[in-house]
Amino acid sequence: MTNVSIRQVHKHYDDFHAVKGVSLEIRDKEFMVLVGPSGCGKTTTLRMVGGFLRPDGGRIVLDGEDVTALPPERRPTATVFQSYALFPHMTVLRNVIYGLKFRKVPREEALAAGRAMLEKVGLPGAGDKTIDQLSGGEQQRVALARALIVRPKVLLLDEPLSNLDAKLRVRMRGEIRRLQREFGITALYVTHDQEEALALSDRVAVMEGGRIVQTGSPRSPGRRTGMAGGPPPGRFWPTRWGAPAASATRRPARLWPSSRESPRTSCAGAPTGLWPPLTHQAFGRAACYGLARRTSACASRARARS
């Protein structure tokens, strides 16, 4: 079993208190996602788990062993970075097997393991290519293969999909989830994308201002039974980061009319039932009201001309 325990961890950058007493328990083979706005401390927390940063206070325990003071190479972890950190002067296969040489794996065995891992991530026959011959999605798969080939107990992923286009991001979510389940690895994933967090995770931890403000299952966000330590029910995401989800009894206002619909105004004067969905909180009540008045004036002029 591989459990991760983050206990009252702090991190300062000079006078800036980046992480403020974060505590989090990650269960064996669980896919935990840390989500929050930029600057909330989520990447700093992940780097402390990986050993790339030393906490100023608190402890990090993996499988009952305190690893707070251990360097990255002595921890049972592997990290996929946002930039992938691939070596451009090496072939794809040499990139994948790079970590095995530090574990004294014989070369022929390492090459065989590398080819097998490339097949698992959907890149059979790509071993002799150079990194600049790969697309963004293929480079991301190589970074995953390099992390998984060392058989880590904990896989750390720091916004690995942020450099991909929207369609490819959705496809790669499924690939990451499939590989995590196939290898039975405990995973800690960092993202600022709320949809990505809900699609990938077994549990979500929401960070804001250096603290974890909510944790729970993505299948019951904002409910008392699903989330703990956060805002009242129905307020899953912090309001300064994004507008709260609409309740079951109130649909959000939609601002832009389509060619098939005429504007219908809500109680605040903004068109509703149209596309894209934007709430008053996200767009601003005054702007919504102004748009509705301009829409109404245009319609009046059109009737007058006819």
Average pLDDT over residues 126-138: 88
Strand partners, 20: 10
Helix, strand, or coil (residue 84): coil
Whole-angstrom distance, CA of residue 96 vs CA of residue 262:
56
Separation CA 304–CA 306 (nearest Å): 5
Q: Under a CB-based contact definition with an 8 Å cutoff, are residues 121 and 145 in contact?
A: yes
> Which is more confidently placed, 30 or 280?
30
Per-residue pLDDT averaged across 250-260, rounded?
Answer: 38
Q: What is the rounded distance in angstroms from the CA atom of residue 121 to the CA atom of residue 134? A: 14
Domain segments of the chain as ranges: 4-228, 246-306
Residues 6+ apart with CB under 8 A from 129: 91, 92
What is the DSSP secondary structure assignment for residue 173, as one 8-state letter? Answer: H
Q: Which residues make beta-bridge pairs with 34?
A: 190, 205
Give the percent of the chain with pLDDT over 90. 43
Q: What is the CATH number of domain 4-228?
A: 3.40.50.300
Cα separation values, 187 from 21, 25, 32, 147, 193, Å: 21, 12, 6, 12, 17
- Label the pairing between strands 77-80 and 65-66: unpaired
Write out pLDDT tens, residues 207-245.
Answer: 999 999 999 888 754 443 344 444 434 444 544 444 444
pLDDT at 71 over 60: yes
Average pLDDT, the chain: 77
At residue 167, the pLDDT reads: 84
pLDDT at 218: 82
Q: What is the model's pLDDT at position 301?
A: 61
Long-range CB contacts for residues 281-286, cutoff 8 Å, separation at least 24: 281/239, 281/243, 281/244, 282/242, 282/243, 283/253, 283/255
d(CA 64, CA 92): 36
Q: Is the pLDDT of residue 114 over 80?
A: yes
| pTM exceeding the 0.85 threshold for the entire prediction | no
Residues with Cβ within 8 Å of 87's Cβ and at least 6 positions away in sequence, in order, are 94, 95, 98, 131
